[in-house]
């Protein structure tokens, strides 16, 4: 699977479907549905475009949610993208594990930034061992699983076959 060869139109459609229908179908799961899309954008677009796209994704979530301050998701996703974008050089675009791993890191970093912003604005701290277990370990793992199941596995079954070594040569 090569992230750079992903069809962006299809990725955006799947992501928007889950952003709009995910909270209805799975209300107790607080997945970051935009994380795989943003990670794929890291490998396809320059930094400035990724920052704008992450800001727009965050604004869309800000418009759809009512429990947080307006602009929190937009600033959180933009700051996460600014910090995580350079890490794309440490993970190969053609590796199967890249998208889930980067999605996991996006989720953890985004959660930490969001916690810091909520603490700065409201002086509320939900920092506990249960919060660490759920929001920094379990939910990022679920985000990575979501990225793997929806974007990696279909590409393995229906994507182009990767030729290796002797497959390049035709025997006569």
The whole-angstrom separation of Cα 109 and Cα 138 is 14
> Tens digits of per-residue pLDDT, 106-132?
999 999 999 999 888 887 777 788 888
pLDDT, one tens digit per residue, over 40-91 is 999 999 999 999 999 999 999 999 887 778 889 999 999 999 999 999 888 8
pLDDT, average across residues 123-145? 86
Q: Is the pLDDT of residue 14 over 70?
A: yes
146 pLDDT higher than 90: yes
pLDDT of residue 148: 94
Measured CA to CA, the distance from residue 31 to residue 26 in angstroms comes to 9
Of 131, 136, 124, 103, the residue nearest 34 (C-alpha): 103
% of the chain surpassing 90 pLDDT: 51
Two tokens, residue 74 = 């937009």
**Per-chain mean pLDDT for the chain:** 87
Report d(CA 41, CA 9) in Å as an integer.
12
* Percent with pLDDT over 70 in the chain: 91
Q: Is the pLDDT of residue 18 over 80?
A: yes
Q: Mind giving me the DSSP string for 79-98?
A: HHHHHHGGGGGGS-TT-TTH
Q: How far apart are the first and last CA of the chain?
A: 29
Give the confidence band of 167 by pLDDT, cuts at 50, 70, 90: low
- Whole-angstrom distance, CA of residue 35 vs CA of residue 80: 10
């Amino acid at each position: 699977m090569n992230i750079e060869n992903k069809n962006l139109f299809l990725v955006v459609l799947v992501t928007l479907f889950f952003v709009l229908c995910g909270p209805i179908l799975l209300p107790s799961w607080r997945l970051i549905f935009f994380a795989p899309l943003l990670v794929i954008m890291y490998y396809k677009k320059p930094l400035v475009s990724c920052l704008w796209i992450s800001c727009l994704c965050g604004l869309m979530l800000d418009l759809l949610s009512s429990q947080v301050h307006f602009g929190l998701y937009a600033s959180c996703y933009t700051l996460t993208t600014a910090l995580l974008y350079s890490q794309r050089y440490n993970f190969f675009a053609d590796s199967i594990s890249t998208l889930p791993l980067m999605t996991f890191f996006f989720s953890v970093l985004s959660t930490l930034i969001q916690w810091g912003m909520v603490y700065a604005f409201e002086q509320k701290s939900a920092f506990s061992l249960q919060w660490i277990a759920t929001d920094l370990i379990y939910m990022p793992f679920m985000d990575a699983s979501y990225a793997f199941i929806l974007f990696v596995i279909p590409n393995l079954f229906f994507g182009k076959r990767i030729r290796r070594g002797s497959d390049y040569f035709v025997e006569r």
